[in-house]
């Protein structure tokens, strides 16, 4: 358990964290297919912050290197999206809606948090393969991040998170995701210890959330 979780005035174990993540994602699915879908969409930033907080609460060891990873994800994630929005380079020509909350120069402030969550989960999952060479862990982590984006894209477009100007998702989006993910995975595997007990549960919750919404 991380130092943050130990300092809480009430017991909050990794399984409690897993239950909260699974519950809130299940409630999100139910809410987004209900007559109150518009209201539930506005809760998206809260759900991202909740996932972010629970990941941090159970991060096994805080070091200066870990904060380098965190800040790198925030900066690279926001920066790549800024370039994408204003130049159509990296990912393609797209714009954000209002669902992800306040924006800075047309890019939602929460997008850096989203990049960190995906990068952290991918680093944690690929890092569990202890005997795999570092370069293969980095490639696998980047592939996991790209696969998650592939899963997220159709649902995010339908819910108004963002939209593509050409009306279709270009292949450059996935290539861009993979290429931007590679340095983040390299930094992640060099700076964080991994083995967060709730990271696999968040991966399951997010996969359930977006996969279910694709078919409802």
Chain segment 44-103, per-residue pLDDT in tens? 999 999 999 999 999 988 889 999 999 999 999 999 999 999 999 999 999 999 999 999
In this predicted structure, the answer to whether residue 117 has a pLDDT above a threshold of 80 is yes
pLDDT value at position 216?
Answer: 81
How much is the mean pLDDT over the chain? 93
Chain segment 167-207, per-residue pLDDT in tens? 999 999 999 999 999 999 999 999 987 789 999 999 999 99
d(CA 3, CA 37): 37
d(CA 89, CA 112): 18
Give 184's contacts (C-beta < 8 A, 6+ positions apart).
72, 73, 76, 77, 115, 119, 142, 145
Give 3's contacts (C-beta < 8 A, 6+ positions apart).
62
Q: Cβ(126)–Cβ(137) under 8 Å?
A: yes
pLDDT value at position 6?
Answer: 63
Residue 71, classed as helix, strand or coil, is helix
Percent of the chain with pLDDT over 90: 87
pLDDT value at position 140?
Answer: 97
Q: Could you tell me the pLDDT band of residue 165, with boundaries at 50, 70 and 90?
A: very high
Q: Where exactly are the structural domains of the chain? A: 3-210
pLDDT value at position 37?
Answer: 95
d(CA 24, CA 172): 32
pLDDT value at position 5?
Answer: 62
Q: Do the bridges between strand 107-108 and strand 162-164 make them parallel or antiparallel, or are there none, so unpaired?
A: unpaired
pLDDT value at position 204?
Answer: 97
Q: Cβ(176)–Cβ(117) under 8 Å?
A: no
Stretch 99-117: mean pLDDT, rounded?
96
């Amino acid at each position: 358990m991380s130092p943050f979780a130990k300092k809480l005035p009430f017991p909050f174990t990794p399984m409690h964290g897993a239950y909260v993540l699974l519950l809130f994602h299940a409630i999100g699915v139910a809410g987004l297919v209900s007559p109150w879908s518009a209201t539930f969409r506005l809760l998206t930033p809260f759900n991202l912050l909740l996932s972010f907080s629970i990941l941090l609460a159970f991060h096994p060891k805080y070091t200066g290197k870990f904060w380098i990873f965190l800040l790198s994800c925030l900066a690279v994630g926001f920066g790549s999206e800024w370039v994408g929005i204003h130049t159509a380079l990296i990912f393609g020509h797209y714009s954000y809606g209002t669902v992800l909350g306040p924006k800075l120069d047309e890019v939602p402030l929460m997008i850096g948090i989203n990049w960190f969550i995906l990068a952290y989960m991918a680093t944690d999952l690929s890092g569990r393969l202890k005997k795999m060479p570092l370069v293969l862990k980095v490639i696998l982590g980047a592939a996991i991040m790209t696969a998650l984006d592939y899963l997220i894209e159709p649902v995010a477009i339908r819910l108004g998170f963002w939209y593509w100007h050409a009306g279709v998702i270009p292949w450059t989006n996935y290539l861009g995701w993979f290429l931007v993910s590679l340095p983040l995975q390299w930094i992640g595997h060099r700076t964080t210890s991994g083995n967060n007990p709730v990271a696999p549960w968040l991966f399951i919750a997010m996969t359930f959330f977006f996969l279910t919404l694709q078919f409802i």
